[in-house]
Structure 1
Amino acid sequence: MIVSWLRDSVSASWLLLLIRLYVGYQWLTSGWGKVTGGFDAAGFLNGAIGKSTGEHPAVQGWWASFLEHFALPNVGLFNVLIPYGEVLVGIGLILGTFTWIAAFFGMVMNFAFLFSGTVSTNAQLILLEIFIVVAGANAGRIGLDHYILPYFRRSFGRR
C-alpha cells in the first residue's frame, strides 16, 4: 500500500521532492567542501581501522580488513571517488536526474561510513534515501527524470 503510493501518487512525488532537495543539499555541500578544501581519506581510513580492535569494536573485522588491504593502499582513488561521488549524488538528487540511482549510490556511501564507525547523519540519510529508491521513477517526476526517462524507455526499452 505504501510502496504503491510512493511509486504512483502525485502527492508522494511532491513529498519526495522535498526529501530529495534536503538529502541532495546534504550531499552536495559535503562533497563540495571536500573538493574545494582538499580531502585526504587516509586519516579517516586509519581511524576506522583503529576502531576495529578492543573489547567492543565499532568496526567489524571484515570491513577493517577491506579498508586496510584495499582502500588504504588505493587512497588516491578514494580521495577522488568520495568527494566527486558526493557532489554527483547531490546534483542528481537536487535536479531529479537519475534520481533513484543517485539515492542508491548515496546509500552505498552512507553504509560505508556507518561500517567505518561514523554515525553522524548517515542513518537519517539512509532512511530518506530508502524512500527515494523504493519510489523509483516517481521520485524524479518533479525533476529532469520527467523528461529523461521517457527518452530512455523509447530508446532502450522494449520494442
Structure 2
Amino acid sequence: MTPNPTANTFESRLGGITVTGRAHSLSAWFVLALRLTIGFAFLYSGVDKVLNGFAAGGYLNNVAATNGNPLAGLFAWMGSTPWFVDIVNVAVPYGEVAIGLGIMVGLMTRLAAFFGASMMLLFYFGNWDMAHGFINSDFMYMLVFLAVAAFGAGRILGLDTIVERYELGGQPLVEKYPALSYVLG
C-alpha cells in the first residue's frame, strides 16, 4: 500500500494566518484515546457526585475568595443565591455524567465537548491558582475537550458516524441539516 501524502493533511486559516499540519497515521488512535480518557474522567466524576452527594454552596462561597480570583465577586454571588446553588447542585453532577457518556460513546461529541470545555473554564476560574503560571489541570482539561471537538473525535469509532450517515428522505442527515455538523463529530 502506498501512502497518500495528503490524506492526513489539515489546514486552518484564522485572522489572516494559515497553519498547515500533517498528522501521523497513528493520530486517530491518540485522538480516540483522548476522547475515551476525558469521557471516562468526567463520567466517573459525575457518577461519584450523583451517588455520594454534591453540594456546590461551600465551594462557590469560599474557593474564589481565598485565592486572588478576579471573579471572586461573581462566585460569591453564585454561592449566596439559593436558586443558583440548587441549579448547580444538579447541573454539575448530571452534566458531568451526560458529557462523559456523550464523549465516551462518541454521540453529539462536539456539543458534549463544548459543555465540557465550558465547565472546565468555570472550574479554572473557581480553582484560580497562579503558583505555576496561568496553566493548571483545569486549563489542560479544557484544551483536551477543545481538541476532541476540533478533531471530530466522535467519528472515530463513535456513534456520530452512524448518526451522520442516517438517511432522512434519501439524504444523509448532516447534508439535510448542515448545522448538525457543529453538534456531531
Question: TM-score band (shorter)?
Answer: 0.7 to 0.9
Does 1:133 pair with 2:143? Answer: no
1:147 to 142, 162, 165: 162
- In the comparison of the two structures, how many residue pairs are matched? 148
**1:89-100, aligned counterparts within 5 Å?**
89-100=99-110
RMSD: 2.7
Deviations 1:21-71 (A, max 9, x none): 10001101111111110110011101224226xxxx1x11xx223223345
Task: Quote the Cα distance in structure 2 between the aligned partners of 1:15 and 1:93.
Answer: 15
Task: Report the AA paired with residue 22 of structure 1.
Answer: T
With a CA cutoff of 8 Å and minimum separation of 6, indicate the structure with the bigger relative contact order. 1
Tell me: CA distance 1:3–1:95, structure 2 relative to 1, closer, same or farther (3 Å): farther
Tell me how far apart the structure 2 counterparts of residues 72 and 109 of structure 1 sit (CA, whole Å). 20
User: Normalized against structure 2, the TM-score is what?
Assistant: 0.69
1:156 aligns with 2:164: no
Relative to its length, the structure with more strand (as a share) is 2
Tell whether 2:130 aligns with 1:122: no
1:88 aligns with 2:98: yes
Higher helix share: 1
TM-score norm. by structure 1 comes to 0.79
Match of 1:69 in 2: 77
CA change 1:121–1:3 in 2 (3 A) is farther
Aligned to 1:25: 40
The higher radius of gyration belongs to: 2
Q: 1:85 to 1:37 in 2, by over 3 A?
A: same
**Cα drift, residue 16 of structure 1:** 1.3
The percent of aligned pairs where both chains have the same amino acid is 31
User: Cα offset for 1:102?
Assistant: 1.0
Distance 1:124 1:114 in 2: 10
Deviation at 1:125, TM superposition (A): 1.3
Report the CA distance between 1:121 and its aligned residue.
3.2
Partner of 2:123: 113
CA distance 1:145–1:84, change in 2 (3 Å): same
What is the CA distance between 1:156 and its match in structure 2? 2.2
Q: Distance in 1 between matches of 2:80 and 2:118?
A: 18
User: C-alpha separation between the residues in 2 aligned to 1:12 and 1:124?
Assistant: 19
Whether the aligned pair in 2 keeps the contact of 1:24 and 1:91 (CA below 8 Å) is yes
